[in-house]
């Protein structure tokens, strides 16, 4: 009887799996602040993608972790034809062509200072327009290498429109854009910064990005940003983080007919894992409840580090 009247259900097709890739041929590297999450070399990343596809997970989002020697203040390595993430994309698309591959369009994995763009002359802020110019080139480069969705996570003004225009001009009309449309300056990003090395580059896990990410206190501003991304041509509108922003997810769902994504970020994942390890929460039930809440709030798809294990449970 309970199942007959259940209003919200999860399936493997709801999930996008964020995956971290590193250079070399070493064994998968555990990320201490994200139990169960690994950095994979390209060959092992392909194996992980095959496993996810077999479980019915339709998409992955790839994030590179570069050696510090490849980073500089301008994020130069982001525009390399031989960039680590592009080698990973080519390998995954060759091995699992039906899997949707998304890539992060932002400079934080590539900059020595850890910010999502290049800095102003006084180094007190990110230079919006100069950053957008680089992101446009980066998006076209990724499209050329077979990416299905470019996902600008930088929160620069005007970048969705500029990227859409450049993709179309380069004959990549079929390359879609998932906008990090309402991305908040959240305290929940610390473990991710460990994972991609932007924390180490900056010397702090709490790098201040409040000049370009959203104020967690602001609901109306988030809706303005989402409306701008939709008007500029974003195909999917994302809210990030998810768990502490369920009201924003619902507001966005009510405001648009576009698909809505939500990112259950590293800190959300880590706190559930930590509490479960201490015996304070039931991992399986809390994991499921956290994800059902995000979908109930209105998300059509969820980026989550629980994607593989949840898909395995739901597929049974």
Active site residues: 183, 240
DSSP assignment of the chain: -TGGG------GGGEEEEEEE-SSSPPPEE-TTSTT-EEE-HHHHHHHHHHHHHTT--EEEEEE---GGG-BTT-GGGG-TT-HHHHHHHHHHHH-TTSEEEEEE-STTTBTT--SSPBPTTSSSB-HHHHHHHHHHHHHHHHHTT-SEEEE-S--TTHHHHHHHHHHHTT-TT-EEEEEEEEB--GGGHHHHHHHTHHHHHT-TT---TTTSBPTT-SHHHHHHHHHHHHHT-SEEEEES-GGGHHHHHHHHHH-SS-EEEEE-HHHHHHHHHHHHTTSS-HHHHHHHHHHHHHHHT-SEEEETTHHHHHHHHH-
């Amino acid at each position: 009887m309970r199942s007959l009247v259940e209003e919200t259900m999860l399936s493997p097709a709801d999930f996008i799996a964020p995956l971290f890739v590193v250079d070399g041929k070493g064994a998968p590297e555990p990320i201490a602040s994200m139990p169960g999450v690994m950095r994979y070399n390209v060959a092992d990343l392909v194996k992980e993608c095959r496993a996810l596809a077999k479980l019915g997970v339709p998409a992955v989002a790839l994030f590179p972790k570069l050696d510090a020697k490849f980073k500089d203040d301008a994020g130069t390595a982001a525009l390399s034809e031989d960039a680590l993430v592009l080698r990973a994309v080519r390998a995954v698309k060759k091995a699992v062509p039906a899997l949707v591959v998304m890539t992060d369009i932002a400079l934080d994995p590539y900059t020595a200072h850890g910010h999502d763009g290049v800095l102003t002359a006084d180094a007190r802020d990110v230079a919006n327009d100069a950053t957008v110019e680089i992101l446009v080139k980066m998006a076209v480069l990724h499209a050329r290498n077979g990416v299905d969705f470019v996902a600008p996570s930088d929160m620069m003004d005007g970048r969705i429109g500029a990227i859409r225009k450049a993709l179309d001009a380069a004959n990549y009309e079929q390359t879609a854009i998932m906008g990090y449309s309402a991305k908040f300056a959240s305290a929940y990003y610390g473990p991710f910064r460990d994972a991609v090395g932007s924390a180490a580059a900056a010397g702090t896990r709490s790098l201040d990005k409040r000049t370009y990410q959203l104020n967690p206190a602001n609901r109306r501003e988030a809706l303005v940003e989402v409306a701008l991304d939709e008007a500029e041509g974003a195909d999917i509108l994302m809210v990030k983080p998810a768990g502490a922003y369920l009201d924003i997810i619902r507001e966005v769902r009510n405001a648009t007919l576009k698909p809505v994504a939500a990112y259950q970020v590293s800190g959300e994942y880590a706190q559930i894992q930590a509490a479960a390890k201490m015996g304070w929460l039931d991992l399986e039930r809390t994991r499921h409840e956290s994800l059902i809440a995000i979908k109930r709030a209105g998300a059509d798809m969820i980026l989550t580090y629980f994607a593989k294990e949840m898909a395995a449970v739901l597929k049974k």
